[in-house]
Structure 1
Amino acid sequence: MSTPQPSMPQAQAAVPNRQPADGSSYRGYTSPIPIVRTHLGNAIASEWTKIRSVRSTIWTLGVFVLLVIGIGIGVAALIAANASPEDLNNDSPLSLGFFGLLLGSMCVITLGVLTTASEYGTGMIRTTMVACPSRGRVLTAKAVVFFAVAFVTTLVSVLVVALADVALLDGARTPTGQEWLKGTIGISLYIALLGLFSLIIGSIIRHSAGAITIMIGVVLAPLVIALFMVSQSLDGLRQALFEYSIPNQLSVFYSNSLTETGPSGWDPLWIIIGVTAAAFACAFALLEKRDV
């Protein structure tokens, strides 16, 4: 026996919120949830929720703050207890923050890589791309959120160290306004951009351990390689590696460069901006061509 088919009015009544197709008047299903066009702000809010929710952010930034403040103040206290007043007049007390910041930069590099590469490792990047199909918007949102977090954290840390070092080294030379600006705002921008460059490398490599290894090599390898270049025929290359190594560029912000030539003033900041912009363009192009 064949099953009786419902009549046309009954079939239409069984499907709510639908109207028969009638040319341009057909509206289809009407969702009760309001439809809002998303924008970069929504992606930034999503990335902010991610970065403040994962444990890696708390651990890496916590270790960073401990290294920068602990080593910076510890070195100043040691010098204040053992140095003569004549020795204190040579350099700005702000330069003592260099040692903790160099070690702490490894934490910022690690967090930058994990911000992108960890999602590829866990497969969560697929969920991210489904929620926001615009891949360039996702990368931009990650970059904005990470840069803001890294800059604020670094600025607070170096400012605490700077104020503490000036107070501990009471007989030291008073830093100038330019030294204060470079030793706080300038160095914070540089560290945040270095971490942002690490984030981009993580997006390109898509492997956390590999990207972190590459970034550690970028930071330390030029200086280490230059130390072992003893041949006179390699003097030019050795000098360039010294001048443009990241430790030397960090020291430039404290007016205490490792070499007499090379970057000076605000040059390291322009260099890192150019390198980061080029890497971002490369990552953006690859992101549009690759499959997730």
Structure 2
Amino acid sequence: MTAYTVHSSAPEQRPSQNNDRFATLTFERHVSTAPTELWHVWTAPAARAIWAAPSPHVTMEILDADPTLGGREISLCKAEGQPDIRCECGWLALQTPDCSVNYEVVSSEGMTRSVALVTAIISPAGQASRLAVTVQLSSLAPGMEAGYREGFDAGLSNLADVAERTMILQRVIKAPRPLVWKAWMNAETLPQWWGPEGFSCRTQRIDLRANGEWVFDMIAPDGTIFPNHHLYHEVREEERIAYSLLWGENGPKHADAWASFEDRGETTQVTLGMVFSTASEFREAKGFGAVELGLQTLGKLERFVTSAP
């Protein structure tokens, strides 16, 4: 996915000078999060959809995404009064959590405007991370280099902000992926294990499909009730889900979340990611133990699938 900036002028389809065709662009960000967490923000489609738009006036719609080696991502960059910019991204190398390489083909109104090779290197920087991105750009229309410079610069600043309010929880569950998926994406079984130790769920409505929802109460051991509303945006069979977390039915959103499921032989690595709406909500969640409580939830999932007959 490119964070390409949309320009108002309608460019011609051929650069006026051959030396305008090629450029190597470099970008660097210092991000106050660990490399493993930054890697997920860089590669997870749900996170990329949040940070990739270069400005509030541009929206990014992901049409399809497969963040695996050889997989591709198709997205549309939209701005009012401008033709949509289509970007096809293909993952050529994924070395978790250090390096990714992808190609990008940018087109508009059926015409290819540029092709690029994007290399991202993530390295530790004390308790934080350094992200270095190199874009080797081949332009087929004028204005692409300037658009890439502006767009990537803005997009990577967004990424740094998103990474600093993202929580990543992982657990390798001793059960095959189809079994783990079935326990998560089943309206009868999900409420049985969801939530930290001692919590229970009281469901009002549940529809675990794309554009579906789960309206429920989390009930603490002391009887305190926490209303919840999950809105499901994407369901990719046995691979991942993406959803929003609301404070109660149709209440304010406090996070965008995703869960991914990866085969590890006879086990499954589950990754649960949450991008909190504000930095203060992220700090508040960490303060009341959201990491520990979330890991307890994944632990309950493992007990559920391994104890099932």
Normalised by the size of structure 1, how large is the TM-score? Answer: 0.28
Bigger Rg, structure 1 or 2: 1
Q: Where is the helix percentage greater, Structure 1 or Structure 2? A: 1
Normalised by the size of structure 2, how large is the TM-score? Answer: 0.27
Query: 1 or 2 for the larger relative contact order (CA 8 Å, sep ≥6)?
Result: 1
